[in-house]
Chains A and B, each alone.
Chain A
Amino acid sequence: MPTDDMTARPTTSREDGLAAEVRTLLRTGLPIRLAAGPRLLGLRGVQARARRPDDPSSLARALDGLLREQLDRLENTGLAEASRLLFGAEAATSGATLTARRQAAADASGYEVHHFRKRIEPKLIDLVAWQLRRDSDTFMARHATAPELRAATRPLVLPADVFAWEAVEHQHALARLWGAVYLLRAELLTTARLASMDAPATETDAAATRALWRHALVLAAAAEYRAAYGAALLDRAGDTDLGPDQIAAYAGWTPPLSPAADLILVRLADPDGSLADFTARLDAARGGSELTADWRRALSGRDRDTDPNTLPAAAPEGSTP
Protein backbone atom coordinates (compact mmCIF):
# COMPACT_ATOMS: atom_id res chain seq x y z
CA MET A 1 0.00 0.00 0.00
CA PRO A 2 1.44 3.40 -0.92
CA THR A 3 2.05 6.06 1.65
CA ASP A 4 -0.67 8.66 1.95
CA ASP A 5 1.61 11.12 3.73
CA MET A 6 1.35 14.25 1.60
CA THR A 7 1.30 16.76 4.38
CA ALA A 8 4.45 18.57 3.34
CA ARG A 9 2.78 20.55 0.54
CA PRO A 10 2.09 24.25 0.92
CA THR A 11 -1.47 25.29 1.48
CA THR A 12 -1.37 28.15 -1.03
CA SER A 13 -3.50 26.36 -3.60
CA ARG A 14 -6.21 25.67 -1.06
CA GLU A 15 -6.19 29.24 0.11
CA ASP A 16 -6.44 30.77 -3.33
CA GLY A 17 -9.34 28.55 -4.36
CA LEU A 18 -7.41 26.56 -6.91
CA ALA A 19 -7.92 23.28 -5.08
CA ALA A 20 -11.66 23.96 -4.95
CA GLU A 21 -11.72 24.33 -8.71
CA VAL A 22 -9.70 21.15 -9.14
CA ARG A 23 -12.26 19.40 -6.93
CA THR A 24 -15.06 20.70 -9.14
CA LEU A 25 -13.21 19.65 -12.24
CA LEU A 26 -12.82 16.16 -10.80
CA ARG A 27 -16.60 15.65 -10.94
CA THR A 28 -16.50 15.36 -14.71
CA GLY A 29 -12.82 14.49 -15.03
CA LEU A 30 -10.85 14.35 -18.25
CA PRO A 31 -11.24 15.36 -21.00
CA ILE A 32 -11.86 18.86 -19.72
CA ARG A 33 -14.99 20.68 -20.78
CA LEU A 34 -15.31 24.39 -21.32
CA ALA A 35 -16.73 24.94 -17.86
CA ALA A 36 -13.41 24.70 -16.01
CA GLY A 37 -12.93 27.29 -13.28
CA PRO A 38 -11.60 30.77 -13.98
CA ARG A 39 -8.61 30.34 -11.67
CA LEU A 40 -7.56 27.21 -13.51
CA LEU A 41 -8.03 28.77 -16.94
CA GLY A 42 -6.26 31.90 -15.75
CA LEU A 43 -3.12 30.10 -14.63
CA ARG A 44 -0.07 31.53 -16.32
CA GLY A 45 0.98 28.01 -17.33
CA VAL A 46 -2.37 27.52 -19.08
CA GLN A 47 -2.28 30.90 -20.79
CA ALA A 48 1.24 30.27 -22.03
CA ARG A 49 0.32 26.89 -23.48
CA ALA A 50 -2.92 27.97 -25.15
CA ARG A 51 -2.66 28.51 -28.88
CA ARG A 52 -5.23 31.28 -28.59
CA PRO A 53 -5.26 32.62 -25.03
CA ASP A 54 -8.39 34.66 -25.78
CA ASP A 55 -10.35 31.57 -26.82
CA PRO A 56 -11.96 29.63 -23.92
CA SER A 57 -11.90 26.33 -25.82
CA SER A 58 -8.19 26.79 -26.51
CA LEU A 59 -7.61 27.47 -22.82
CA ALA A 60 -9.58 24.35 -21.91
CA ARG A 61 -7.43 22.24 -24.23
CA ALA A 62 -4.30 23.74 -22.74
CA LEU A 63 -5.54 22.97 -19.23
CA ASP A 64 -6.38 19.44 -20.31
CA GLY A 65 -2.83 18.88 -21.56
CA LEU A 66 -1.27 20.55 -18.53
CA LEU A 67 -3.31 18.46 -16.11
CA ARG A 68 -2.41 15.24 -17.92
CA GLU A 69 1.25 16.24 -17.80
CA GLN A 70 1.08 16.98 -14.08
CA LEU A 71 -0.61 13.64 -13.45
CA ASP A 72 2.14 11.93 -15.43
CA ARG A 73 4.66 13.77 -13.27
CA LEU A 74 2.85 13.34 -9.94
CA GLU A 75 5.17 13.97 -7.03
CA ASN A 76 3.78 11.03 -5.09
CA THR A 77 4.76 8.22 -7.44
CA GLY A 78 3.02 5.60 -5.30
CA LEU A 79 -0.32 7.18 -6.11
CA ALA A 80 0.44 8.20 -9.68
CA GLU A 81 -1.62 5.48 -11.33
CA ALA A 82 -4.50 5.99 -8.90
CA SER A 83 -4.48 9.71 -9.66
CA ARG A 84 -4.62 9.15 -13.40
CA LEU A 85 -7.50 6.73 -12.94
CA LEU A 86 -9.28 9.14 -10.62
CA PHE A 87 -9.06 12.06 -13.03
CA GLY A 88 -9.80 9.93 -16.08
CA ALA A 89 -6.38 10.33 -17.68
CA GLU A 90 -6.23 6.58 -18.28
CA ALA A 91 -8.24 5.07 -21.12
CA ALA A 92 -9.88 2.72 -18.60
CA THR A 93 -11.65 5.56 -16.80
CA SER A 94 -11.71 8.35 -19.38
CA GLY A 95 -15.22 9.78 -19.52
CA ALA A 96 -16.45 7.51 -16.69
CA THR A 97 -18.50 8.72 -13.73
CA LEU A 98 -16.67 9.95 -10.66
CA THR A 99 -17.97 6.94 -8.73
CA ALA A 100 -16.46 4.54 -11.25
CA ARG A 101 -13.20 6.48 -11.45
CA ARG A 102 -12.92 6.62 -7.69
CA GLN A 103 -13.50 2.88 -7.38
CA ALA A 104 -10.82 2.15 -9.98
CA ALA A 105 -8.38 4.51 -8.24
CA ALA A 106 -9.06 2.96 -4.84
CA ASP A 107 -8.56 -0.53 -6.23
CA ALA A 108 -5.30 0.43 -7.92
CA SER A 109 -3.90 1.99 -4.77
CA GLY A 110 -5.06 -0.74 -2.43
CA TYR A 111 -7.40 1.42 -0.34
CA GLU A 112 -10.97 0.78 0.63
CA VAL A 113 -13.04 3.19 -1.48
CA HIS A 114 -14.53 5.19 1.43
CA HIS A 115 -11.10 5.68 2.98
CA PHE A 116 -9.83 6.73 -0.41
CA ARG A 117 -12.62 9.29 -0.87
CA LYS A 118 -12.29 10.77 2.60
CA ARG A 119 -8.54 10.61 3.22
CA ILE A 120 -6.63 10.18 -0.01
CA GLU A 121 -8.66 12.07 -2.58
CA PRO A 122 -8.50 15.48 -0.84
CA LYS A 123 -4.75 15.18 -0.51
CA LEU A 124 -4.40 14.23 -4.15
CA ILE A 125 -6.49 17.24 -5.13
CA ASP A 126 -4.28 19.51 -3.03
CA LEU A 127 -1.18 17.98 -4.53
CA VAL A 128 -2.41 18.43 -8.10
CA ALA A 129 -3.42 22.03 -7.37
CA TRP A 130 -0.03 22.68 -5.82
CA GLN A 131 1.73 21.24 -8.86
CA LEU A 132 -0.37 23.38 -11.18
CA ARG A 133 0.50 26.47 -9.16
CA ARG A 134 4.18 25.56 -9.10
CA ASP A 135 4.18 25.08 -12.87
CA SER A 136 2.75 28.55 -13.37
CA ASP A 137 5.14 30.11 -10.89
CA THR A 138 8.09 28.99 -12.94
CA PHE A 139 7.01 31.25 -15.76
CA MET A 140 8.47 34.70 -15.47
CA ALA A 141 6.79 37.61 -13.78
CA ARG A 142 4.67 40.10 -15.70
CA HIS A 143 7.11 42.81 -16.49
CA ALA A 144 9.46 43.56 -19.30
CA THR A 145 13.10 42.91 -18.71
CA ALA A 146 15.89 43.57 -21.13
CA PRO A 147 17.86 40.51 -22.21
CA GLU A 148 20.12 39.51 -19.39
CA LEU A 149 23.80 39.95 -20.14
CA ARG A 150 26.44 37.76 -18.61
CA ALA A 151 30.19 37.78 -18.60
CA ALA A 152 31.41 35.68 -21.50
CA THR A 153 33.99 33.07 -20.62
CA ARG A 154 34.43 31.61 -24.09
CA PRO A 155 33.67 32.38 -27.72
CA LEU A 156 30.06 32.04 -28.75
CA VAL A 157 29.66 28.76 -30.62
CA LEU A 158 26.16 27.87 -31.71
CA PRO A 159 24.98 24.30 -32.21
CA ALA A 160 23.70 23.57 -35.73
CA ASP A 161 20.14 23.71 -34.54
CA VAL A 162 17.16 25.55 -35.97
CA PHE A 163 16.11 26.83 -32.58
CA ALA A 164 19.58 28.19 -31.95
CA TRP A 165 19.31 30.12 -35.21
CA GLU A 166 15.79 31.24 -34.43
CA ALA A 167 16.84 32.24 -30.92
CA VAL A 168 19.71 34.30 -32.29
CA GLU A 169 17.43 36.06 -34.76
CA HIS A 170 14.94 36.78 -32.01
CA GLN A 171 17.58 37.98 -29.60
CA HIS A 172 18.96 40.17 -32.39
CA ALA A 173 15.58 41.84 -32.84
CA LEU A 174 15.16 42.20 -29.07
CA ALA A 175 18.66 43.62 -28.63
CA ARG A 176 18.03 46.18 -31.36
CA LEU A 177 14.75 47.17 -29.73
CA TRP A 178 16.14 47.42 -26.22
CA GLY A 179 19.30 49.10 -27.48
CA ALA A 180 17.20 51.76 -29.16
CA VAL A 181 15.13 52.17 -25.99
CA TYR A 182 18.20 52.75 -23.83
CA LEU A 183 19.67 55.25 -26.30
CA LEU A 184 16.37 57.16 -26.24
CA ARG A 185 16.38 57.03 -22.46
CA ALA A 186 19.85 58.56 -22.38
CA GLU A 187 18.68 61.51 -24.50
CA LEU A 188 15.48 61.97 -22.48
CA LEU A 189 17.53 62.11 -19.28
CA THR A 190 19.92 64.63 -20.78
CA THR A 191 17.08 66.82 -22.00
CA ALA A 192 15.46 66.74 -18.56
CA ARG A 193 18.75 67.67 -16.90
CA LEU A 194 19.35 70.57 -19.25
CA ALA A 195 15.81 71.84 -18.72
CA SER A 196 16.25 71.56 -14.97
CA MET A 197 19.53 73.48 -15.12
CA ASP A 198 17.98 76.29 -17.19
CA ALA A 199 20.48 75.61 -19.92
CA PRO A 200 20.33 77.80 -23.02
CA ALA A 201 17.39 76.93 -25.25
CA THR A 202 19.72 75.95 -28.09
CA GLU A 203 21.29 73.24 -25.93
CA THR A 204 17.98 71.92 -24.65
CA ASP A 205 16.48 71.96 -28.12
CA ALA A 206 19.46 70.11 -29.53
CA ALA A 207 19.10 67.43 -26.86
CA ALA A 208 15.37 67.20 -27.50
CA THR A 209 16.00 66.79 -31.22
CA ARG A 210 18.43 63.96 -30.52
CA ALA A 211 15.70 62.41 -28.39
CA LEU A 212 13.24 62.71 -31.28
CA TRP A 213 15.72 60.98 -33.57
CA ARG A 214 16.20 58.21 -31.03
CA HIS A 215 12.43 57.98 -30.58
CA ALA A 216 12.03 57.46 -34.32
CA LEU A 217 14.59 54.66 -34.18
CA VAL A 218 12.70 53.02 -31.29
CA LEU A 219 9.49 53.13 -33.32
CA ALA A 220 11.33 51.61 -36.28
CA ALA A 221 12.80 48.83 -34.14
CA ALA A 222 9.35 48.06 -32.70
CA ALA A 223 7.89 47.94 -36.21
CA GLU A 224 10.69 45.62 -37.27
CA TYR A 225 9.92 43.32 -34.35
CA ARG A 226 6.20 43.33 -35.14
CA ALA A 227 6.82 42.36 -38.74
CA ALA A 228 8.98 39.44 -37.69
CA TYR A 229 7.13 38.13 -34.65
CA GLY A 230 3.78 39.84 -34.32
CA ALA A 231 2.38 42.29 -31.82
CA ALA A 232 3.28 40.30 -28.69
CA LEU A 233 6.67 39.28 -27.40
CA LEU A 234 7.50 35.64 -28.05
CA ASP A 235 8.86 35.18 -24.54
CA ARG A 236 6.04 37.00 -22.83
CA ALA A 237 4.92 33.81 -21.03
CA GLY A 238 1.48 34.45 -19.56
CA ASP A 239 1.45 38.15 -20.25
CA THR A 240 -0.43 38.42 -23.48
CA ASP A 241 -0.43 42.21 -23.50
CA LEU A 242 3.28 42.81 -23.51
CA GLY A 243 4.52 43.74 -26.95
CA PRO A 244 7.25 45.75 -28.65
CA ASP A 245 5.17 48.91 -28.44
CA GLN A 246 4.96 48.61 -24.66
CA ILE A 247 8.72 48.11 -24.46
CA ALA A 248 9.21 51.19 -26.61
CA ALA A 249 7.41 53.15 -23.91
CA TYR A 250 9.85 51.96 -21.23
CA ALA A 251 12.42 54.60 -22.16
CA GLY A 252 10.47 57.26 -20.33
CA TRP A 253 7.75 59.77 -21.00
CA THR A 254 7.62 61.14 -24.52
CA PRO A 255 5.13 63.61 -25.98
CA PRO A 256 2.13 61.77 -27.41
CA LEU A 257 2.11 61.76 -31.20
CA SER A 258 -0.64 60.98 -33.64
CA PRO A 259 -0.48 57.63 -35.52
CA ALA A 260 0.28 59.58 -38.69
CA ALA A 261 3.26 61.26 -37.03
CA ASP A 262 4.47 57.87 -35.81
CA LEU A 263 4.30 56.54 -39.35
CA ILE A 264 6.32 59.44 -40.67
CA LEU A 265 8.97 58.97 -38.02
CA VAL A 266 9.23 55.25 -38.75
CA ARG A 267 9.66 56.02 -42.44
CA LEU A 268 12.37 58.57 -41.78
CA ALA A 269 14.25 56.45 -39.27
CA ASP A 270 17.33 54.83 -40.73
CA PRO A 271 19.35 52.77 -38.25
CA ASP A 272 22.45 53.35 -40.39
CA GLY A 273 21.80 57.06 -40.91
CA SER A 274 22.97 60.05 -38.91
CA LEU A 275 21.14 62.63 -36.81
CA ALA A 276 21.84 65.23 -39.52
CA ASP A 277 20.24 63.00 -42.18
CA PHE A 278 17.19 62.50 -40.01
CA THR A 279 16.64 66.15 -39.17
CA ALA A 280 17.14 67.20 -42.78
CA ARG A 281 14.54 64.73 -43.98
CA LEU A 282 12.12 65.62 -41.19
CA ASP A 283 12.40 69.33 -41.92
CA ALA A 284 11.65 68.63 -45.56
CA ALA A 285 8.57 66.52 -44.75
CA ARG A 286 5.24 68.32 -44.58
CA GLY A 287 4.54 69.20 -40.96
CA GLY A 288 7.99 68.03 -39.91
CA SER A 289 9.16 71.40 -38.59
CA GLU A 290 6.00 71.79 -36.52
CA LEU A 291 6.40 68.28 -35.13
CA THR A 292 9.97 69.06 -34.09
CA ALA A 293 8.98 72.35 -32.50
CA ASP A 294 6.10 70.79 -30.54
CA TRP A 295 8.34 67.95 -29.39
CA ARG A 296 11.05 70.35 -28.22
CA ARG A 297 8.61 72.53 -26.32
CA ALA A 298 7.03 69.56 -24.57
CA LEU A 299 10.32 67.98 -23.55
CA SER A 300 12.03 71.18 -22.48
CA GLY A 301 9.17 72.09 -20.20
CA ARG A 302 8.23 75.22 -22.04
CA ASP A 303 4.71 73.80 -22.32
CA ARG A 304 4.41 73.11 -18.59
CA ASP A 305 1.38 75.35 -18.28
CA THR A 306 -0.53 72.81 -20.32
CA ASP A 307 -1.17 69.15 -19.58
CA PRO A 308 1.53 67.27 -21.49
CA ASN A 309 -0.84 64.37 -22.06
CA THR A 310 -3.07 66.56 -24.14
CA LEU A 311 -0.30 68.12 -26.17
CA PRO A 312 -1.57 68.63 -29.71
CA ALA A 313 1.11 66.70 -31.54
CA ALA A 314 1.82 67.56 -35.13
CA ALA A 315 0.55 65.08 -37.65
CA PRO A 316 2.57 65.60 -40.77
CA GLU A 317 1.16 63.88 -43.79
CA GLY A 318 3.80 64.84 -46.28
CA SER A 319 5.91 62.21 -47.92
CA THR A 320 9.62 61.94 -47.56
CA PRO A 321 11.58 63.98 -50.06
Chain B
Amino acid sequence: MSLEDLLAPTTEPRRYVVTGGPSAGKEAVLAELHARGVPASEDEPAREIYRRHRDRLGRHLQVADRRAYSRDVLAAFVAEYCDHKAGLRFYNRGIPDGYGWDAFFGLGPYPDLEEATRIYRYDAVFVLDPLDDFDSEDDLVFAQEREIRRVHELIVQGYYDAGYRPIFVPADEPGRRVDFILAQLPVPST
Protein backbone atom coordinates (compact mmCIF):
# COMPACT_ATOMS: atom_id res chain seq x y z
CA MET B 1 0.00 0.00 0.00
CA SER B 2 1.48 3.33 -1.04
CA LEU B 3 1.69 6.45 1.07
CA GLU B 4 -0.99 8.02 -1.11
CA ASP B 5 -3.29 5.08 -0.38
CA LEU B 6 -2.62 5.39 3.32
CA LEU B 7 -3.38 9.09 3.25
CA ALA B 8 -6.76 8.58 1.55
CA PRO B 9 -9.55 9.50 3.94
CA THR B 10 -11.54 6.44 2.90
CA THR B 11 -9.06 3.96 4.34
CA GLU B 12 -9.20 2.45 7.78
CA PRO B 13 -7.56 4.60 10.43
CA ARG B 14 -3.89 3.93 10.96
CA ARG B 15 -2.19 5.49 13.93
CA TYR B 16 1.54 5.90 14.35
CA VAL B 17 3.33 7.24 17.39
CA VAL B 18 6.44 9.39 17.24
CA THR B 19 8.06 9.42 20.62
CA GLY B 20 11.36 9.51 22.43
CA GLY B 21 12.99 11.27 25.29
CA PRO B 22 13.61 14.97 25.55
CA SER B 23 15.97 16.41 22.96
CA ALA B 24 15.31 13.55 20.57
CA GLY B 25 14.26 15.95 17.82
CA LYS B 26 10.57 15.08 17.93
CA GLU B 27 9.30 18.56 17.14
CA ALA B 28 11.49 18.81 14.05
CA VAL B 29 10.27 15.44 12.76
CA LEU B 30 6.62 16.40 13.30
CA ALA B 31 7.22 19.73 11.57
CA GLU B 32 8.73 17.88 8.62
CA LEU B 33 5.69 15.60 8.46
CA HIS B 34 3.43 18.64 8.42
CA ALA B 35 5.53 20.21 5.69
CA ARG B 36 5.01 17.11 3.56
CA GLY B 37 1.26 17.16 4.11
CA VAL B 38 1.23 14.06 6.30
CA PRO B 39 -1.40 14.34 9.05
CA ALA B 40 0.22 14.64 12.45
CA SER B 41 -0.48 16.08 15.88
CA GLU B 42 -0.48 19.85 15.93
CA ASP B 43 0.41 20.14 19.57
CA GLU B 44 1.27 18.08 22.61
CA PRO B 45 -1.82 17.95 24.84
CA ALA B 46 0.26 17.68 27.97
CA ARG B 47 1.42 21.28 27.63
CA GLU B 48 -1.93 22.91 28.29
CA ILE B 49 -2.74 20.41 31.01
CA TYR B 50 0.57 21.15 32.73
CA ARG B 51 -0.12 24.89 32.57
CA ARG B 52 -3.61 24.37 33.97
CA HIS B 53 -2.41 22.26 36.91
CA ARG B 54 0.40 24.63 37.72
CA ASP B 55 -1.93 27.63 37.61
CA ARG B 56 -4.44 25.88 39.85
CA LEU B 57 -1.81 24.88 42.40
CA GLY B 58 0.15 28.11 42.24
CA ARG B 59 3.35 26.10 42.39
CA HIS B 60 5.19 23.21 40.81
CA LEU B 61 3.57 19.78 40.84
CA GLN B 62 4.48 17.73 43.88
CA VAL B 63 4.44 13.97 44.30
CA ALA B 64 0.88 14.01 45.61
CA ASP B 65 -0.34 16.03 42.61
CA ARG B 66 1.07 13.85 39.89
CA ARG B 67 -1.60 11.16 39.65
CA ALA B 68 -4.32 13.70 38.86
CA TYR B 69 -2.08 15.32 36.26
CA SER B 70 -1.29 11.93 34.74
CA ARG B 71 -5.01 11.07 34.49
CA ASP B 72 -5.77 14.33 32.68
CA VAL B 73 -2.96 13.71 30.21
CA LEU B 74 -4.25 10.18 29.62
CA ALA B 75 -7.76 11.48 28.96
CA ALA B 76 -6.37 13.92 26.39
CA PHE B 77 -4.42 11.19 24.62
CA VAL B 78 -7.48 8.93 24.52
CA ALA B 79 -9.59 11.78 23.09
CA GLU B 80 -6.95 12.47 20.45
CA TYR B 81 -6.88 8.77 19.57
CA CYS B 82 -10.66 8.53 19.26
CA ASP B 83 -10.97 11.71 17.20
CA HIS B 84 -9.12 10.09 14.33
CA LYS B 85 -11.55 8.22 12.11
CA ALA B 86 -9.83 7.46 8.77
CA GLY B 87 -6.52 7.50 6.97
CA LEU B 88 -3.11 7.73 8.55
CA ARG B 89 -2.02 9.98 11.38
CA PHE B 90 1.16 10.47 13.36
CA TYR B 91 0.87 11.23 17.04
CA ASN B 92 3.13 13.35 19.17
CA ARG B 93 3.63 10.71 21.86
CA GLY B 94 1.12 7.98 22.64
CA ILE B 95 -0.83 6.56 25.54
CA PRO B 96 1.99 4.22 26.74
CA ASP B 97 4.27 7.26 27.16
CA GLY B 98 2.42 7.58 30.45
CA TYR B 99 4.24 4.53 31.81
CA GLY B 100 7.62 6.15 31.28
CA TRP B 101 6.71 9.59 32.58
CA ASP B 102 4.98 8.21 35.66
CA ALA B 103 7.90 5.89 36.36
CA PHE B 104 10.33 8.80 36.13
CA PHE B 105 8.39 10.58 38.84
CA GLY B 106 8.19 7.46 40.99
CA LEU B 107 4.62 6.40 40.20
CA GLY B 108 3.57 2.89 39.29
CA PRO B 109 1.05 2.07 36.57
CA TYR B 110 -2.62 2.54 37.43
CA PRO B 111 -5.69 0.67 36.14
CA ASP B 112 -6.98 3.42 33.83
CA LEU B 113 -3.65 3.63 32.04
CA GLU B 114 -3.39 -0.13 31.70
CA GLU B 115 -6.95 -0.38 30.37
CA ALA B 116 -6.42 2.45 27.86
CA THR B 117 -3.17 0.85 26.72
CA ARG B 118 -5.03 -2.40 26.12
CA ILE B 119 -7.97 -0.86 24.27
CA TYR B 120 -6.39 1.90 22.18
CA ARG B 121 -3.65 0.33 20.11
CA TYR B 122 -1.38 2.09 17.66
CA ASP B 123 -0.23 0.49 14.42
CA ALA B 124 3.42 1.23 15.09
CA VAL B 125 5.67 3.19 17.38
CA PHE B 126 8.66 5.14 16.14
CA VAL B 127 11.22 5.95 18.81
CA LEU B 128 13.60 8.74 17.92
CA ASP B 129 17.09 7.95 19.12
CA PRO B 130 18.53 10.81 21.20
CA LEU B 131 20.46 13.37 19.22
CA ASP B 132 24.13 13.30 20.10
CA ASP B 133 24.44 17.04 20.57
CA PHE B 134 21.91 18.45 22.99
CA ASP B 135 23.01 21.98 22.19
CA SER B 136 21.96 21.58 18.60
CA GLU B 137 18.34 21.00 19.49
CA ASP B 138 17.59 23.46 22.25
CA ASP B 139 18.93 25.00 25.38
CA LEU B 140 18.35 22.08 27.70
CA VAL B 141 22.04 21.83 28.46
CA PHE B 142 21.38 22.20 32.15
CA ALA B 143 19.11 19.14 32.20
CA GLN B 144 21.88 16.69 32.68
CA GLU B 145 22.28 13.99 30.11
CA ARG B 146 21.58 11.21 32.58
CA GLU B 147 18.19 12.70 33.37
CA ILE B 148 17.30 12.92 29.71
CA ARG B 149 18.65 9.46 29.08
CA ARG B 150 16.61 7.95 31.91
CA VAL B 151 13.35 9.47 30.68
CA HIS B 152 14.10 8.16 27.20
CA GLU B 153 14.78 4.63 28.41
CA LEU B 154 11.72 4.57 30.64
CA ILE B 155 9.54 5.64 27.73
CA VAL B 156 10.99 2.87 25.54
CA GLN B 157 10.50 0.39 28.38
CA GLY B 158 6.86 1.49 28.68
CA TYR B 159 6.19 0.56 25.06
CA TYR B 160 7.82 -2.83 25.44
CA ASP B 161 5.75 -3.39 28.57
CA ALA B 162 2.66 -2.47 26.59
CA GLY B 163 3.44 -5.16 24.02
CA TYR B 164 4.83 -2.98 21.25
CA ARG B 165 8.04 -3.51 19.35
CA PRO B 166 9.27 0.01 18.70
CA ILE B 167 11.06 0.96 15.52
CA PHE B 168 14.15 3.00 16.35
CA VAL B 169 14.82 6.00 14.17
CA PRO B 170 18.54 6.84 14.09
CA ALA B 171 19.74 10.32 14.96
CA ASP B 172 19.84 12.25 11.72
CA GLU B 173 18.53 15.42 10.20
CA PRO B 174 14.70 15.64 10.22
CA GLY B 175 14.20 15.09 6.50
CA ARG B 176 16.12 11.84 6.48
CA ARG B 177 14.38 10.67 9.63
CA VAL B 178 10.99 11.24 8.01
CA ASP B 179 12.18 9.40 4.89
CA PHE B 180 13.15 6.51 7.14
CA ILE B 181 9.79 6.53 8.95
CA LEU B 182 7.69 6.71 5.78
CA ALA B 183 9.74 3.92 4.20
CA GLN B 184 8.56 1.59 6.99
CA LEU B 185 4.87 2.10 6.19
CA PRO B 186 2.52 0.39 6.37
CA VAL B 187 3.71 -1.38 9.48
CA PRO B 188 1.49 -4.29 10.43
CA SER B 189 -0.35 -4.02 13.69
CA THR B 190 1.41 -5.46 16.69
Interface residues of A (CB under 8 A from B): 45, 48-49, 51-52, 61-62, 64-66, 68-69, 72-73, 138-140, 147-148, 150, 154, 156-173, 227-230, 232, 234-235, 237
Q: Which of A52, A161, A162 gathers the greatest number of chain B CB atoms within 10 Å?
A: A162
**Is B1 part of the contact surface with A, judged by Cβ < 8 Å?**
no
In the bound complex, residues from chain A placing their C-beta under 8 Å from that of B2 are: none
Please count how many residues in chain B sit with their CB below 8 Å of the partner chain's CB atoms. 39
- A51 touching B147, Cβ below 8 Å: no
**Is B47 part of the contact surface with A, judged by Cβ < 8 Å?**
yes
In the bound complex, residues from chain A placing their C-beta under 8 Å from that of B151 are: 163
State the CA gap A257–B6 with chains docked (Å): 68
**Is B55 part of the contact surface with A, judged by Cβ < 8 Å?**
no
Quote the shortest CB–CB distance from B5 to chain A (angstroms).
26
In the bound complex, residues from chain B placing their C-beta under 8 Å from that of A171 are: 142-143
- A161 touching B47, Cβ below 8 Å: yes
Stretch from B81-89, B114-122, B160-168, B172-180 forming part of the interface with A: B160-168
Nearest B residue to A89 via CB reads B165
In the bound complex, residues from chain B placing their C-beta under 8 Å from that of A64 are: 160
Chain A to chain B contacts (Cβ below 8 Å), 22 pairs: A48-B153, A48-B154, A61-B161, A64-B160, A65-B157, A73-B168, A147-B142, A158-B138, A159-B140, A161-B27, A162-B44, A163-B22, A164-B143, A166-B50, A169-B60, A170-B147, A171-B142, A228-B61, A229-B106, A235-B144, A235-B146, A235-B150
Partner among B146, B166, B168 whose Cβ is within 8 Å of the Cβ of A140: B146
In the bound complex, residues from chain B placing their C-beta under 8 Å from that of A170 are: 143, 147
Nearest B residue to A66 via CB reads B157
Quote the shortest CB–CB distance from B142 to chain A (angstroms).
5
> 12 additional contacts, CB 8 Å, given A139-B150, A167-B140?
A48-B153, A51-B108, A68-B165, A148-B144, A158-B138, A158-B139, A161-B138, A163-B22, A163-B143, A169-B60, A230-B106, A234-B150
In the bound complex, residues from chain A placing their C-beta under 8 Å from that of B99 are: 51
In the bound complex, residues from chain A placing their C-beta under 8 Å from that of B144 are: 147-148, 235
Nearest B residue to A139 via CB reads B146
Partner among A52, A62, A159 whose Cβ is within 8 Å of the Cβ of B138: A159
* B128-161 interface code vs A (CB 8 A; 1 in, 0 out): 0000000000111111101101110110110011
State the CA gap A48–B160 with chains docked (Å): 15
State the CA gap A48–B99 with chains docked (Å): 14
Quote the shortest CB–CB distance from A87 to chain B (angstroms).
13
Interface residues of B (CB under 8 A from A): 21-22, 27, 44, 46-47, 50, 60-63, 99, 103-106, 108-109, 138-144, 146-147, 149-151, 153-154, 156-157, 160-161, 165-166, 168
Nearest A residue to B59 via CB reads A228
State the CA gap A218–B141 with chains docked (Å): 26
Q: Which of A64, A154, A163, A237 gathers the greatest number of chain B CB atoms within 10 Å?
A: A163
In the bound complex, residues from chain A placing their C-beta under 8 Å from that of B60 are: 169, 172-173, 228
- A167 touching B63, Cβ below 8 Å: no
- A49 touching B104, Cβ below 8 Å: no
State the CA gap A147–B149 with chains docked (Å): 15
In the bound complex, residues from chain B placing their C-beta under 8 Å from that of A162 are: 44, 46-47, 50
- A237 touching B161, Cβ below 8 Å: no
State the CA gap A45–B147 with chains docked (Å): 13
- A49 touching B106, Cβ below 8 Å: no
In the bound complex, residues from chain A placing their C-beta under 8 Å from that of B22 are: 161, 163-164, 167
In the bound complex, residues from chain A placing their C-beta under 8 Å from that of B105 are: 229-230, 234
Quote the shortest CB–CB distance from B23 to chain A (angstroms).
8
In the bound complex, residues from chain B placing their C-beta under 8 Å from that of A52 are: 108
State the CA gap A170–B143 with chains docked (Å): 9
Q: A64-B160, A234-B105 are in contact. Are A48 and B139 (CB under 8 A)?
A: no
State the CA gap A131–B142 with chains docked (Å): 28
Quote the shortest CB–CB distance from A110 to chain B (angstroms).
24
In the bound complex, residues from chain B placing their C-beta under 8 Å from that of A172 are: 60
State the CA gap A73–B22 with chains docked (Å): 20
State the CA gap A162–B150 with chains docked (Å): 16
Nearest B residue to A61 via CB reads B161
- A68 touching B160, Cβ below 8 Å: yes
- B166 touching A72, Cβ below 8 Å: yes
In the bound complex, residues from chain B placing their C-beta under 8 Å from that of A73 are: 168
Partner among B139, B147, B149, B157 whose Cβ is within 8 Å of the Cβ of A234: B147
Partner among B46, B63, B143, B157 whose Cβ is within 8 Å of the Cβ of A49: B157
- B149 touching A138, Cβ below 8 Å: yes
